[in-house]
A and B are shown apart, each in its own frame.
Chain A
Amino acid sequence: DSGVTQTPKHLITATGQRVTLRCSPRSGDLSVYWYQQSLDQGLQFLIQYYNGEERAKGNILERFSAQQFPDLHSELNLSSLELGDSALYFCASSVGTQGFQETQYFGPGTRLLVL
């Protein structure tokens, strides 16, 4: 158990809909990262937040957005969903002082299926 929790574990929705994925980092970690894993794209870094502020951006679509709240939990919002958004979405956390130089601890993921 990494100490990172993600909810929900599974999500089934329809095209055009909007969903919110939630992540709670390990106690004491200030950085949260979001990743998408799909069969065709592999593992892709989406976005990083550090202590409430956006720190780094990856291949995140404009239809997607994220935020980190004062209690350090984070939410990833996916809107206008398309079939191709079906994937496993991971959240990871780290202490946050050294960014990608640090060990990241991954949550169990949210499996999203868009029908």
Chain B
Amino acid sequence: SQQGEEDPQALSIQEGENATMNCSYKTSINNLQWYRQNSGRGLVHLILIRSNEREKHSGRLRVTLDTSKKSSSLLITASRAADTASYFCATVLYGNNRLAFGKGNQVVVIP
């Protein structure tokens, strides 16, 4: 099964609103990463948060990590039409040298 599970699966919002996505995982991780994919193109790395970090910011992105709940959230503030994409969380497990992706979360930002 997929290590990362994003919730909700699809999100439709108006431009200017905030978008929040959650990701849960089952086992201990080394780090968790968020990626964006535009319409079947390559993935773009957004942010990496390590297991000993609780929050990270990058521009309009804010990622939190709660290792006690085994979950992470990605917040996109003041969304733009260009933010329309699929967003994936991916985890690197301790002792497991691979990147395991969730199923992805489709975000549509309506102009």
**A residues with CB within 8 A of B:** 2, 4, 33, 42-45, 48, 55-58, 88, 90, 92, 99-101, 103-109, 111
Contacts and interface: CB of A to CB of B under 8 A. Distances in A.
Contact of B100 (A4, A33, A45, A107): A45
Which of A43, A104, A109 gathers most chain B CB within 10 Å? A43
Q: Which A-B residue pairs are the 5 nearest by beta carbons?
A: A106-B42, A43-B101, A56-B97, A106-B43, A100-B92
Given A43-B101, A58-B98, A101 B30 contact: yes
Contact of A100 (B98, B101, B104): B98
B70 interface: no
Contacts, number: 57
A48 B96 CA distance: 13
Interface residues of B, number: 22
Given A2-B42, A2-B44, A43-B104, 16 more contacts: A42-B2, A42-B104, A43-B88, A44-B101, A45-B101, A88-B40, A92-B43, A99-B97, A100-B31, A100-B92, A100-B98, A101-B31, A101-B48, A103-B45, A105-B45, A106-B44
Interface in B39-59: 40-45, 48, 50
**Interface SS of chain A:** strand
Contacts of A105: 45
A43 B104 CA distance: 9
Interface in B68-100: 88, 90, 92, 97-100
